Structure 1
């Protein structure tokens, strides 16, 4: 199942310091098949990570272990998500 992590920046200076660790973390998870996609919002206020996990507990564990969340640079909102099979007829 897919889980979406909305990561809102609350401490811009701290975010800049831990961002390289964040990028490495999600890149490593992508290589493990646990991250489907990720990227920043164009307004500069945060970003989104889409996890592929077996359970909400696993998704929560991975999202809360993200360096930007652990450091307090960003808040986390995690939600289960189901993609539509498009086109819908």
Structure 2
């Protein structure tokens, strides 16, 4: 089973995406901003010695945007094989 992380400041988007992912047997955590995402990645690595295989990040968020968040996450983990899906709702 894959694990994912949904990063979006809109609760409805988090719920909708998590429901879609569950249909494909992907268990996902969710957070509201970039700083929470970074902390969630660190926590997962410390607790389980694992990383998320999929990360869905909203591009436009208050504070740290999706691109800045992904750069910070890549600094934390040693491997570069993580799939990011950037999201933008118009």
- TM above 0.5, yes or no, is no
Structure with bigger strand share is: 1
Q: Which has the higher contact order (CA 8 A, sep 6+)?
A: 1
Q: State the TM-score, normalizing by the size of structure 2.
A: 0.31
Q: State the TM-score, normalizing by the size of structure 1.
A: 0.31
